[in-house]
Structure 1
Amino acid sequence: MDKALLNTTARALVARKKGILAADESLRSTSQRFAPINLPHTEENRRAYRDMMFTAPGLEEFISGVIMFDESIRQKAHDGRPFPDFFRSKGILSGIKVDTGFIDMAGFPGDKISEGLDGLRVRLEEYKKLGAVFAKWRAVILIDKNNPSRACIEANAWQLARYAAICQEMDVVPVVEPDVNMTGSHTLERDEEVTTWILNEMVNQFFKQNVFLEGLLVKTNMILPGRDCPVQADIPAVAEASLRVLKRTIPSAIPGVVFLSGGQGTQISTARLDAMNKIGGFPWELSYSYLRSMADPAFAIWKGKPQNVDAAQKELYRRGKLLSAAREGQYSPEMENS
């Protein structure tokens, strides 16, 4: 393990004014994205969609790294260069999703567990040759009346730490993503309780499994009530609860925390990130690892049509600029109209 390299890479991923583009959609996700615009779900259309995002002029001003999928890390930009080579020329780091999805957890109805530890070392060796310097593993935690169970929390925390240790052994920076999902009607307080639980258990496993804290990033959810909760929280309440949980659970040795945006609207996820950075007073960098909140407006313009690429890329650049401002606590809603 090259600790200096791991720390340098982790810190580069949370460089000031920058965040991570989480473009690691599975084939199922891209199929769902293409269906409403009647775009055939072909390999070439998926490549063109990624090319629209990845080659947007000026993207490197706001994006430190891009998380790819097994298919996309093997694809090429319109100029013939493999995407990792294209990113390297722009000073953007290449990442790869390495969990193979989540399934029902045997013996615990309603709980989920991720797969992908088997053969991970071999896959990482190949991904490194393709250009990846960091990886991501997502653990999905669902909240319901009887969920999550203690077994679910402990099993997912153990997996996240085991994945992190294997990555670091390979000199690949692990991004660990415990995602307490917005699905459900739970309150903000319940989300805070469960997120604190999984983060605490995960960090405990880091120590048990000799994970190098300075060489990883945490990617997690903001503290939010469930999508179906009748009482939704305002921006200050979300910001304060999210920071409260992170301060209780995330050691200062970890270089950075990046938030996922799943289920939030484009503007609200930007405003919530901004509110936290305006509060400040935390020991780690606080940034974003978004896809939908960054790329959805551009996708709505692109619609799979080559003639729309320029306009879509300009919108992607604009969205990146706004997220960069939020990353620094310098965003305001009025900027959305600029």
Structure 2
Amino acid sequence: MKPFEYNRANDLDHAARLTSDGARPIAGGTNLLDLMKLEIETPDALVDINRVPLGGIEPDGDELRIGALVTNSACAADERIRRDYPVLARAILAGATFQLRNKATTAGNLCQRTRCYYFYNTEMPCNKREPGSGCSAIGGFNRIHAVLGASDACIATYPGDMAVALCALNATVEIATAEGHTRSVPVRAFHRLPDDAPERDNVLEPGEVITAVVLPAPPGGKHVYRKVRDRSSYAFALVSIAAVVRMDGGAIASAALAFGGLAHKPWHDERVDALLVGEVPSDALFDKAADLLLDGAQGHGTNDFKIPMARRTLKAVLREVTGDAE
């Protein structure tokens, strides 16, 4: 591991000053430390933010504010989350191990990096790790890679579960800027597609620190999180779907779906939500939703199977969430 300087921030202003010069914030470190051991991440300095008071889950009017340092375990166990936002609790519990969830934080989970094999292999070209070097996954073994929103520069996928549920819930990321201001970014816009700059995973700028995730008023309806993976636990999603659907008189009154394992970011297609609203559930409707979702999907060889898998998973989730589970 490359030697680095270690500092502790006492408050947000202190953290912003330290990170504005390129230092990396660290809390649980469940992903960052692994990357540093492999010298994929080589920061000159780390800023421990665990002393910054960002660890609570508090109501804010009809909304619920989850502090950046709330652990995944604490978030999934919170009574209000389990009651009003069960898709979030289920998504968190579908990821990682007990030990990792006890350390991983809300902000860190959002900022985790891809598990692309070539990103982790420093002997192979990777535009995400070394811009301009090439993408070894294109034309290589790409079973876990993206079929939506990819580019000629990168076909890596975002690996997390929590952010997929937050995307379906239309949550907001609260960010403290280096200038001492606060800005809010919808989770749906927080992560970036690769385009020609795959080294940038999200919209955070130097000196910015995530302070919270804000959940909107409880959406009601039925919540489902389904994760398809190679083994029943401790594995990343090949395809995952978070669905929040409310029925009214046999028709779909509201729908919000988000998808993991398919793209460089949690994938949300507002056209799919709009298609479902006001309609009576049927296989024909679900086929139309899958057609819309996968319009333009592209496999790259060993991940071609993800396209029909996403179709089958979406239809199964829609049957379940509308009350017609098989």
Please say whether Structure 1 and Structure 2 have the same fold, judged by a TM-score greater than 0.5: no
Higher helix share: 1
For this structure pair, what is the TM-score category when the shorter chain's length is used for normalisation?
A: under 0.3
Q: TM-score scaled to structure 1, two decimals?
A: 0.24
Higher strand share: 2
